[in-house]
């Protein structure tokens, strides 16, 4: 697996900037549009569950599950950006992920933050 399989985030110069901070240097918040989120739930297929079970007995990284979680987080973030764009935002502040088990059938990943309109100072 290559490094692209293990990462995420935005392209350079996105049309909706997503940051984990309260503010963006050189910009001021012109308007707060409210909370936005992107949600997805993924189930693990039988092959990966068996592989993970075997791997957990001998130790080491569960690469198949790692790749699935990266894809899931990226999908949740894409949905967050789509919602922010639809509301007229050009940025999302205080971006976070929340990950939990969904009724023992999969993993729920929620990307959330505050949609805002930023203006250059």
> Taking the CA atoms of the chain, what radius of gyration do you get in angstroms?
17
The Cα–Cα gap between 108 and 98 comes to: 8
Stretch 44-61: mean pLDDT: 58
Output the pTM of the full model: 0.80
pLDDT > 90? residue 38: yes
Query: What integer pLDDT is reported at residue 42 of this predicted model?
Result: 83
Whether the Cβ atoms of residue 31 and residue 117 lie closer than 8 Å to each other: yes
pLDDT > 80? residue 64: no
């Amino acid at each position: 697996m290559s490094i692209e399989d293990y990462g995420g985030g935005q392209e350079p110069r996105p049309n909706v900037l997503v940051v984990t901070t309260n503010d963006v240097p050189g910009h001021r918040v012109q308007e707060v549009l409210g909370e936005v989120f992107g949600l997805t739930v993924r189930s693990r297929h039988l092959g990966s569950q068996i592989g993970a079970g075997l791997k957990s007995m001998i130790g080491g990284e569960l690469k198949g599950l790692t790749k699935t979680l990266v894809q899931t987080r990226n999908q949740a973030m894409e949905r967050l950006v789509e919602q922010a764009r639809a509301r007229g935002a050009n940025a999302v502040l205080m971006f976070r992920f929340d990950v939990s088990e969904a009724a023992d059938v999969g993993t729920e990943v929620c990307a959330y933050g505050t949609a805002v309109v930023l203006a250059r100072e």
